[in-house]
Amino acid sequence: MITHLRRAFNESWTEAKYRDLIRRLELRSGATLGFPISETPCFFPQSLMSSLASTGIELVNQILDNDDAMAAADGAVPDRFKGDGADALPTFVQVDFGLVRAADGSIQPKLVELQAFASLYGFQLVVAEAYRDAFGLPTSLGLFLDRLDVAAYHALVANAIVGDNDPHEVVLMEIEPRKQKTWPDFVVTEQLWGVRAVDVSEVHREGRRLYYHRDGKTTPIRRIYNRVIPDELERKHIQLPFGYGDDLDVEWAGHPAWYFRISKFSIPFLRHVCVPETHFLDGIESLPADRERYLLKPLFSFAGGGIIFAPTDAQIAAIPMRERKDYILQERIDFTPVIDTPEGAAQAEIRIMYVRAGSELRPVLPLLRMGRGKMMGVDHNKGLRWVGASAGLMSD
């Protein structure tokens, strides 16, 4: 969106530089990437990114300060995921925006989703740095939000993940971590903050304490950096060696209850110009006739799973009445292609990544996804280039 930077990048782009980008990322993570990396970063004005960051905090605070919304959200947390270990505020929050062209021709943000769950705090930093290095981009291009620099970012995220603990006694807990597409992030997380990814099956319990084996030694777990997605846990019928509601001598960096408390469930409670019209399915008295303008979304699926475009009467009727509280009907956002590439303009979805510092959320880093399909996911952009995971580089 910064014209001179975009033009200069496109004119100097080479396949060799792109291969160097991928080489750097795979060398750093020690693995073949399981998802596409776009041929380009996105160049954004610092003012736009700061505005998105502020808007995200405003939206999250609307939920946290709304007693009715929080009471409803607490009621939506399945019993299995409730527990006294959840902090009063979320540790991590992600707010996703799409860019659309308004009637006056200006580009405006629209909320796509928000989620109180961790994201790629390690790998996304590496992606941004690799773009700058592989393509010889100016080091003056900013990577961070909220006036952070590399040292401040490292310290802020370290405090959120590790706290005051020995990093060896903190685990990044996941289901079969080496099989996850996010494995590169787990590798970088250990490189940056010393926290190792551990399969939930490798955790064992003795009384109120949890342990894992690290380098042949039984090691206590003082804090869990939670990366277990609840719907995957449910879908695979995995039994943990402990319960989230158990009285355990352990801290949580991202308790799973927050995955439900701030989520798609929150969107119908929001009132903001950037929020698309959204209703719980069980609260709709008459369905809209212009169904092509809407999406049907299950509340607690991850990465766009189960979304139905332009849902038909038959598709809605197939959802039992008792389950309709677990769906929203949302006005569809038509992303405007704003990133000029040699293969046509691409759409951009911007994630603002937040970390809690004390009682405040701090925006730390943008995460970008580019696409030209119906959605930003890999399945909707197969066979396309100049799409996929990217980075947001900022300039005044």
Amino acid at 298: P
Residue 287 clears pLDDT 60, i.e. is over it: yes
pLDDT at 377: 58
pLDDT at 85: 76
Specify whether the CB–CB gap between 64 and 356 falls below 8 A.
no
Question: Residue 376: how many CA atoms within 13 Å on its side-chain side?
Answer: 28
Amino acid at 134: A
pLDDT at 374: 66
Express as a percent the part of the chain with pLDDT over 90: 78
DSSP 177: G
DSSP state letters, 256-305: THHHHHSSGGGGGG---TTSPPEEEGGG-SS--S-GGGEEEEETT-STTT
Where is pLDDT greater, at 104 or 362?
A: 362
Please tell me the least confidently modeled range out of 8-12, 132-136, 384-388. 384-388
Where is pLDDT greater, at 377 or 267?
A: 267
- 326 by DSSP, 3-state: which? helix
pLDDT at 379: 56
Q: Can you state the angle between helices 183-193 and 123-134, rounded to 10 degrees?
A: 90
Over the chain, what is the mean pLDDT? 93
DSSP 204: E
Residue 303 clears pLDDT 60, i.e. is over it: no
Residue 376 clears pLDDT 80, i.e. is over it: no
Amino acid at 12: S
Domain boundaries, the chain: 3-276+333-395
Give the number of other CB atoms < 10 A from CB of residue 326: 18
pLDDT at 299: 85
Give the number of other CB atoms < 10 A from CB of residue 149: 10
The answer for residues whose C-beta is within 8 angstroms of residue 265's C-beta and 6 or more apart is: 72, 73, 76, 299, 300, 328
pLDDT at 285: 82
Amino acid at 10: N
H/E stretch holding 370 reads strand 360-371
Distance CA 390, CA 367 (A): 7
Direct distance between the N- and C-terminal alpha carbons of the chain, in angstroms, rounded to an integer: 12
Residue pLDDT, tens place only, 24-60: 999 998 888 989 999 999 999 999 999 999 999 999 9
The Cα angle at residue 318 between residues 312 and 319, in degrees rounded to 5: 105
pLDDT at 215: 94
Specify whether the CB–CB gap between 121 and 366 falls below 8 A.
no
Express as a percent the part of the chain with pLDDT over 70: 96
pLDDT at 388: 95
pLDDT at 375: 60
Please tell me the least confidently modeled range out of 58-62, 81-85, 87-91, 335-339. 81-85
Residue 300 clears pLDDT 80, i.e. is over it: no
Specify whether the CB–CB gap between 210 and 248 falls below 8 A.
yes
Distance CA 178, CA 186 (A): 9
Residue 4 clears pLDDT 60, i.e. is over it: yes
pLDDT at 242: 92
Distance CA 271, CA 193 (A): 38
Q: How many helices (H) and strands (E) does the chain have?
A: 10, 18
> Which two structure tokens, joined as six digits, stand for 302?
């991850």
Distance CA 370, CA 153 (A): 25
Amino acid at 23: R
Tell me the average pLDDT across 104-110.
89
Residue pLDDT, tens place only, 195-245: 999 999 999 999 999 999 999 999 999 999 999 999 899 889 998 999 998
Residue 363 clears pLDDT 80, i.e. is over it: yes
> Which two structure tokens, joined as six digits, stand for 77?
């947390």
Confidence of residue 378 (pLDDT cuts 50, 70, 90): low
Find, among 259, 231, 265, the residue nearest to 116 by Cα: 259
pLDDT at 255: 94
Find, among 351, 301, 368, 290, the residue nearest to 328 by Cα: 301
pLDDT at 296: 93
In this structure, the strands spanning 360-371 and 388-390 are antiparallel
pLDDT at 188: 97
